[in-house]
């Protein structure tokens, strides 16, 4: 996971994401994270695609 938007990178802690939890629903992984001082973000991933990248 990479912080690519200015809204994610420009804050007190620059370039750092703080995970706030995750939810697994079938093959979908949703990660909730904070990367700035104001907002909570989320990102969706396919678990199958993540595992395929590891081998």
pLDDT tens-digit series, residues 11-51: 677 777 778 899 999 999 999 988 777 778 889 999 999 99
Using the predicted structure, report yes or no on whether residue 1 has a pLDDT greater than 70: no
Buried b (16+ CB within 10 A) or exposed e, 8-40: bbebeeeeebeeeeeeeeeeebebebbbbeeee
Locate 10 and state its tokens: 């420009």
pTM of the model: 0.69
């Amino acid at each position: 996971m990479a912080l690519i938007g200015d809204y994610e990178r420009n804050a007190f802690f620059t370039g750092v994401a703080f995970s706030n939890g995750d939810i697994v629903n079938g093959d979908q992984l949703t990660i909730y994270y904070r990367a700035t001082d104001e907002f909570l973000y989320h990102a969706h991933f396919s678990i199958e695609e993540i595992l395929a990248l590891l081998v």
